[in-house]
Amino acid sequence: MLSDNLYQRFAALVRERAGLHYPPQRRADLAYGLQRAAQQLGVADLHQLLALIERSPAAWNDVIAELTIGETYFFRNAAQFAALREIILPDLIQRRAMVRYLRLWSAGCATGEEPYSLAITLRETLPVDPPWHMSILATDINHRFLERAREAIYGSWSFRETPEHVRDRYFIPEGGRWRLRDEIKRDVVFAHLNLVEPSYPSPQLGIIAFDIIFCRNVLIYFDEATTQQIVQRLYDALTPGGWLIVGHAEPNIEFYRQFETHNAPGTVLYRKPLHAPPFIPATAVSPPSPKLVSPPLPASPQIVAQPTQLTLSPEAWLQQARAAADHGDWSAARMQVQALLKAYPLFAPAYYLQGQIAEHHGQLDEALADYRRSVYLDPHFVLGLIGMASIFARQRQPDAARRALGQATTILSQHPDDQIVDPFHDSTAAEVLAYINLLWQQIR
Ligand SMILES: C[S@@+](CC[C@H](N)C(=O)[O-])C[C@H]1O[C@@H](n2cnc3c(N)ncnc32)[C@H](O)[C@@H]1O
């Protein structure tokens, strides 16, 4: 029995900890979910359940698992996926042409159908030659949903709006259900995150600088004040020009005032203005002197860094890694740079060094991906552009090589000739320009 007193205490608790809103008209839903959690946990009544969840995070997770609604399916809301293909991706493909890398977040991903639909759509839409890279972060508060998402086996109900040929291309039948192919599974990283907690945007958690955020049919469970705070944090987690897609039941335009509104057939899209300042996190790390413009962005979602354990500054750390590489101790250099990137995922020069190590070992694709990440983190990082040009030249892509060098030249022409722009070799802008000219002549 959910007495008045228990109703008030449970409602306050789930609202405070998970943002879930149970007004009197939803009291019966709360009672039902709590009864189920009590049964599962083997406690006799809801008084005992309250006492248990006060002291046991695992029991709390069971309550959350019963109270959250995971209704979802592949390609839910076809109009929004059409807008993704026809409006959002063409915009980003044009603006991100140099880096060829997109970052997405499915916030409130439930059992994974939404982020996997995003992965499939991107694979079908992004140009392939040369390839684009993507990282898709998918988060939810419900651990059980996340387990099922990682397993990626689905019943036919999940495909109720998926054309058969799409299902057949990406899933393998297995005992009356369908298993997602590994290559799509690998596109998505799942992590636990409570949207109500102000733990994001966060460079350490890799929750920052997204090009696209899908947060659909999640905000409806929160009260207005909570929704407003979450929308602000989603805004902060987008890059300028990044897109937010919310569910159809979440149309309160007031919450989205900071965004540009784009009307697409059958849906409304929100975009963070292009001129919005990039988010500068309090813990952002500066590249070594001289500092070039550096909008922060991690390379991939990594829920790992523990900055409090660090003793070295990233610059000093990078110098150590560089020294190891200069002495030919490549494995030490690689280990150092990997550790550095775990702790400072925004540090563009570290990706550059990692790219150089890969290039030295003939791993051209890996090197190119690292150089791209360095440029993504810092679009003015000329060394990254030169690294990209060198790989393009080796891969017989002269046009792409020239484009990257042209971009580096434009950036360098904005610096005084004697300004140091290469932190690794203390080279000036004029010296680097001379080097670019040399490279240019070698491209064929
Ligand atoms: C109805 S599903 C939506 C799934 C998917 N976005 C879609 O539209 O098909 C809502 C999801 O939001 C999650 N959720 C609810 N409260 C949350 C919170 N405080 N933090 C993160 N996720 C939450 C639930 O666990 C559930 O998986």
Q: Following DSSP, what letter does each residue of 285-346 receive, concatenated?
A: -PPSSSPPP-----SS------GGG--S-HHHHHHHHHHHHHTT-HHHHHHHHHHHHHH-TT
H-helix or E-strand spanning residue 53: helix 46-55
196 CB within 6 A, ligand 1: yes
- Do 92 and 198 belong to one domain? yes
pLDDT of residue 284: 34
**pLDDT tens sequence across 37-83:** 999 999 999 999 999 998 888 899 999 989 988 999 999 999 999 99
Q: Which atom of ligand 1 is closest in space to residue 214's alpha carbon?
A: 6
Q: Which atom of ligand 1 is closest in space to residue 247's alpha carbon?
A: 8
Closest CA to 237 of 293, 196, 279: 279
On whether residue 131 sits in a domain, the answer given is yes
pLDDT of residue 202: 82
19 CB within 6 A, ligand 1: yes
pLDDT of residue 279: 54
On whether residue 216 sits in a domain, the answer given is yes
pLDDT of residue 35: 94
245 CB within 6 A, ligand 1: no
Question: What residue owns the CA closest to ligand 1's atom 27?
Answer: 110
Closest CA to 168 of 216, 220, 120: 120
On whether residue 215 sits in a domain, the answer given is yes
Q: How far is the CA of 382 from the centre of ligand 1 (A)?
A: 41
Q: How far is the CA of 122 from the centre of ligand 1 (A)?
A: 22
pLDDT of residue 113: 98
- Do 124 and 16 belong to one domain? no
Q: How far is the CA of 368 from the centre of ligand 1 (A)?
A: 36
- Do 59 and 112 belong to one domain? no
Closest CA to 30 of 56, 88, 69, 78: 69
- Do 249 and 349 belong to one domain? no
On whether residue 336 sits in a domain, the answer given is yes
- Do 141 and 251 belong to one domain? yes
pLDDT of residue 277: 76
- Do 163 and 183 belong to one domain? yes
Q: How far is the CA of 23 from the centre of ligand 1 (A)?
A: 18
Q: How far is the CA of 235 from the centre of ligand 1 (A)?
A: 18
Closest CA to 293 of 210, 381, 387: 381
On whether residue 72 sits in a domain, the answer given is no
Ligand 1, from 22, 141, 219: best to mutate by most atoms within 8 Å of Cβ? 141
Domain termination residue (choose one: 24, 40, 67): 67
Structure tokens belonging to residue 332: 């030490």
DSSP percent split of the chain into helix, strand, coil, nearest 5: 50, 15, 35
Domain termination residue (choose one: 23, 41, 67): 67
On whether residue 73 sits in a domain, the answer given is no
- Do 316 and 229 belong to one domain? no
CATH number at residue 36: 1.10.155.10
Ligand 1, from 139, 140, 146, 195: best to mutate by most atoms within 8 Å of Cβ? 140
CATH number at residue 400: 1.25.40.10
End-to-end CA distance of the chain: 79
Ligand 1, from 13, 196, 205, 218: best to mutate by most atoms within 8 Å of Cβ? 218
pLDDT of residue 305: 30
Domain termination residue (choose one: 216, 249, 271): 271
Tell me if 400 sits within 8 A of 130, measured CB to CB. yes
Q: How far is the CA of 69 from the centre of ligand 1 (A)?
A: 7
Tell me if 294 sits within 8 A of 310, measured CB to CB. no
DSSP 60: H
On whether residue 299 sits in a domain, the answer given is no
- Do 422 and 320 belong to one domain? yes
- Do 102 and 59 belong to one domain? no
Domain residues for 236? 78-271
Q: How far is the CA of 22 from the centre of ligand 1 (A)?
A: 15
Q: Over the Cα atoms of the chain, what is R_g?
A: 24
The rounded average pLDDT for each run of 10 residues, N- to C-terminus, in the chain (444 residues) is: 91 90 91 93 93 90 90 96 98 88 95 98 93 90 96 96 96 97 93 92 81 96 91 94 91 88 95 79 34 32 32 74 79 85 85 93 93 89 93 92 94 87 76 85 82
- Do 255 and 148 belong to one domain? yes
Closest CA to 156 of 174, 138, 169: 174
**3-state secondary structure (DSSP) of residue 135:** strand
Number of domains into which the chain is organized: 3
- Do 319 and 438 belong to one domain? yes
On whether residue 294 sits in a domain, the answer given is no
CATH number at residue 218: 3.40.50.150
Residue 76: alpha-carbon gap to chain centroid: 21
**pLDDT tens sequence across 241-297:** 999 999 988 767 889 999 999 999 999 999 999 988 765 443 333 333 222 222 333
220 CB within 6 A, ligand 1: no
DSSP 202: B
Q: How far is the CA of 217 from the centre of ligand 1 (A)?
A: 7
Closest CA to 105 of 10, 228, 2, 242: 242
Question: What residue owns the CA closest to ligand 1's atom 13?
Answer: 108
- Do 339 and 203 belong to one domain? no
